[in-house]
């Protein structure tokens, strides 16, 4: 005889997973299908769940009739530089804070997340004035500096659990063999905390890839616009090219999906380890 309680529990789990997958995947499906529908089907009063037509005209218009390739390149440059610089700085900082001993170390480790105590929009004016003084307004480097500033504190905090999970005896053994602090970190620590480094790399890339507020203020000219700001420009005041917008959103989602498919498991493991250890 089938256990009714067990059947209800299994049905509840299945329904919950299905609803979660629907909430996550439905927007991606709707955007992708919208990017391959022709304009008449997109503007139809009755939306179609499955495309009745297939066209690549929106992608052709996106790459040949707009500055989207330039926006995409700018976003890639900013995101990759942010990721590399964040990984380097946060790894060195986390090693110094959580493995070395120096005056003020405990205080520094406690205030490392003070950046997130205030909404980022409150820092917009002082950051704008700072970038003006440095003559970095309307440059990609201004966005890299801002993104690194906001990404590093969280990255350092996330690496805390990974560094503390490495036995101190390994460092003692390396010291006896004549290794200095940098050699110990590079040869011993970095391979052992690779999941954590992957986690902060993904976090830094995605946060800079999707950043809009500072990119829309610090970048003035069209040549240095990033992809989120460029896509926002597609939305006109009186008319919206939904096919072009859907094609742009599809292309914008691909790097994130590819990155998660390659190292997404390390990202999840990194977040879980950082929460438990």
Q: At what angle do helices 68-99 and 242-276 cross, to 10 degrees?
A: 10
Q: Read off the tokens for 168.
A: 């101190």
* Angstrom distance (rounded) from CA 154 to CA 260: 19
SS3 235: strand
Of the candidates 242, 215, 197, 235, the residue with the CA atom closest to the CA atom of residue 75 = 215
Contact 159, 200 (CB under 8 A): yes
User: Please, what's the b/e burial string for 113-126 (b: 16 or more CB within 10 A of its CB; e: otherwise)?
Assistant: eeeeeeeeeebeee
Contact 228, 210 (CB under 8 A): yes
pTM above 0.85, yes or no: no
- For the beta carbon of residue 9, count every other beta carbon within 10 angstroms: 11
Q: Read off the tokens for 113.
A: 């997340």
For residue 38, report the phi and psi dihedrals to the nearest 5 degrees. -75, 165
pLDDT at 70: 92
SS3 113: coil
pLDDT at 265: 62
Alpha carbon separation from 18 to 11, 15, 22, 263 (Å, rounded): 10, 5, 6, 24
* Angstrom distance (rounded) from CA 214 to CA 207: 12
* Angstrom distance (rounded) from CA 251 to CA 253: 5
Give residue for tokens 């997130």.
Answer: 116
Tell me the pLDDT of the chain (277 aa) as tens digits: 456 777 777 778 888 888 877 887 888 888 888 888 887 887 777 777 788 888 888 888 888 878 889 999 999 999 999 999 999 999 988 888 888 777 877 777 777 777 677 777 788 888 899 999 999 999 999 999 999 999 998 898 888 888 877 788 777 787 777 777 778 878 888 888 888 888 889 889 999 998 999 999 999 888 899 999 988 877 654 567 788 888 888 898 888 888 777 766 656 555 555 444 4
């Amino acid at each position: 005889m089938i256990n009714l309680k067990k059947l209800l529990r299994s049905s509840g789990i299945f329904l919950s997973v299905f609803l979660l997958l629907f909430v996550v995947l439905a927007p991606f499906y709707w955007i992708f299908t919208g990017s391959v529908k022709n304009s008449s089907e997109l503007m139809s009063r009755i939306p179609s769940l499955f495309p009745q037509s297939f066209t690549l005209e929106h992608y052709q218009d996106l790459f040949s009739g707009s500055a989207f390739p330039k926006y995409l390149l700018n976003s890639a440059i900013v995101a990759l530089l942010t990721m590399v610089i964040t990984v380097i700085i946060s790894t060195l900082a986390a090693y110094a804070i959580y493995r070395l001993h120096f005056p003020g170390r405990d205080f520094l480790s406690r205030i490392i997340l003070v950046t997130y105590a205030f909404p980022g929009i409150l820092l917009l004016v002082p950051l704008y004035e700072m970038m003006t003084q440095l003559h970095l307004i309307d440059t990609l480097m201004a966005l890299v500096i801002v993104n690194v500033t906001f990404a590093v504190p969280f990255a350092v905090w996330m690496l805390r659990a990974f560094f503390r999970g490495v036995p101190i005896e390994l460092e003692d053994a390396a010291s006896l063999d004549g290794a200095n602090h940098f050699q110990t970190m590079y040869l011993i620590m970095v391979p052992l905390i690779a999941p954590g480094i992957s986690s902060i790399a993904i976090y830094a890339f995605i946060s800079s890839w999707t950043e809009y507020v500072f990119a829309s203020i610090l970048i003035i000219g069209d040549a240095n616009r990033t992809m989120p700001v460029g896509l926002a420009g597609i939305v006109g005041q009186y008319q919206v090219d939904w096919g072009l917008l859907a094609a742009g959103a599809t292309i914008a989602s691909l790097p994130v999906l590819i990155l998660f498919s390659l190292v997404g498991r390390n990202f999840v493991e990194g977040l879980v380890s950082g929460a438990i250890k």
